[in-house]
Structures are given as structure tokens and as C-alpha cells.
Amino acid sequence: MNKAIKRSVKMRFQNKINYGDHSDAYEFTTRGELFHKGRQDYLRFEEALSDSEKVQTTMKWDGRELMLIRQGTILMRQGFVVGEETFGRYVTPDASWETTAITDKLLVQWPSGKTRGKIKLTYKFLLQGQETGTHEVRLTLEEDTTK
């Protein structure tokens, strides 16, 4: 079995949620690892929800489905496939909910050499069958050559 070659990346994560006539947005920058294993690519990074609450996030890409896996204060597993309804779960210390994503757009481009990579994802998200809005997620990735 081949050992995965890990590359360090710098990334900017942006999320905009539109629901009705309201919208919320948040963003953060962090460092992560990008690696290929088997037939899939993985992006792994840590998300700080607060000073004491952290979530390890992994995005797994197989060329068709982007799988989001979050582990820590929040547990979440959700797949995204363009034009399909996919099911997952969102778990906090207090509750667990079924989730549904209806993916409209999905673009994954990994950085190579000095070029930037990006992930763009647009989907409708439902928690226990209740729509929470349309999410627009953008990640900008750049190979981190400072290490």
C-alpha cells in the first residue's frame, strides 16, 4: 500500500447562508493538509468554534461525491452530489438530527505547483426535514511552502 503524501495548505473558508430575506455569513482562515489515498483526495483542517471548542474537519473527494466529516464538539457526516438529495447526521452534545442536502453546484480544484485550488459548493440544507436555507461555501486553497 502506498503511503499518502501530505501537502500543507493555507486556506480561507467562507460560508453564506440565505434564508428568506435574511442572510448570515462567516469566514475563517486556517492551515490544513491535503493528501491522496487510494482513489480519493482528502483535505483535513481544524475549525475553532470557540477558545475551548474545536472540530476536526475532513473533506473527502472521489470525483463525484464530496463527503464532509466533522469530529469534535460537533459530529457531522454529510455527502454532496450535484443534482441529488443526500442524507446525513448532525450531532451536538445536546441533540442529534437527521440532515438532508440538495446540491446545486459543486466544483473541486486542488492546488498544484504555485496555483491556487478551490472548492465551491451550493446546496439547500434541511435539519429534521426543516429547511435552514441555501448554503454557499467557498474554500480557497494555496500550497503552504513556509514549512
| 112 within 8 A of 92, measured Cβ to Cβ | no
| pLDDT tens-digit map of 6-44 | 889 999 999 999 998 999 999 999 999 999 888 899 999
Give the predicted TM-score (pTM) of the model: 0.90
Identify the pLDDT of residue 1: 43
Buried-state track 46-58, b at ≥16 Cβ within 10 A, e below 16: ebeeeeeeebebb
- Domain holding 22, by residue range, is 6-143
Average pLDDT over residues 108-134: 91
pLDDT band at 147 (very low <50, low <70, confident <90, very high): low
Residue 139 lies in a domain: yes
Tally of domains within the chain: 1
Name residue 65's amino acid: E
User: CATH code at 87?
Assistant: 2.40.128.20
Q: Name the residue with cell 440565505.
A: 18
* Domain membership flag for residue 107: yes
pLDDT digits over 44-101, tens only? 999 887 777 889 999 999 999 999 999 998 999 999 999 999 999 999 999 999 999 9
